[in-house]
A and B are shown apart, each in its own frame.
Chain A
């Protein structure tokens, strides 16, 4: 059974551009969480989606948005990219909103120049 998949694996963008990152959860998992990991730091929570609704949001500006589709896959969108948005973006899937167990994808490494 496939694990959590993310695409693309690497991405280079220019300041001011927009980016869309994608995540497919483990089959049967209905919740997806997004995390940002800046180099040398631990991941920071961005969003959690469950049953296509936002169920949690971290301390990130409105340039960051996300959505979840009927098949439970998810997209993370970042507008007006800044140099500081360069990071590894991790997606984690879990069975439901309050599930303790989370399974992480390989991440998307975004570089903003």
Chain B
């Protein structure tokens, strides 16, 4: 079993839909990251969380430390949101991150 599990693996939505991507982890963490990766590879950090909830534009990230679970929500989805979304956790061993497999999101117009 992977230390970081994401669901779903693939997600197709219509423009305007509300989207949720889930991440569960099995190790103690110092912080959880949500990252976005577009075709071509570059990774952009969306959020870093250690507790509670963060919001940036149409993106919302929440984390429940007790349940070891985090969610990334996208409101009013748009085709430009199409990308791979990756959950990664940082433990207590330096800055090393452990990544989930990623969720491929496709938003159709």
Contacts and interface: CB of A to CB of B under 8 A. Distances in A.
Interface string A85-113: 00010101010111111111111010000
Contact of B45 (A55, A98, A101): A101
Interface stretch (B12-20, B54-62, B64-72, B92-100): B92-100
Interface of B: 4, 30-31, 33, 35, 40-45, 48, 50, 86, 88, 90, 93-102
A98 B41 CA distance: 25
Nearest to B93: A56
Main SS class of interface, A = strand
Contacts, number: 74
Interface of A: 31, 33, 35, 37, 41-45, 48, 50, 55-56, 58, 88, 90, 92, 94, 96-107, 109
Task: Name the residue in A98, A102, A107 with the highest tally of chain B Cβ atoms < 10 Å from its Cβ.
Answer: A102
Contact of A100 (B41, B86, B90): B90
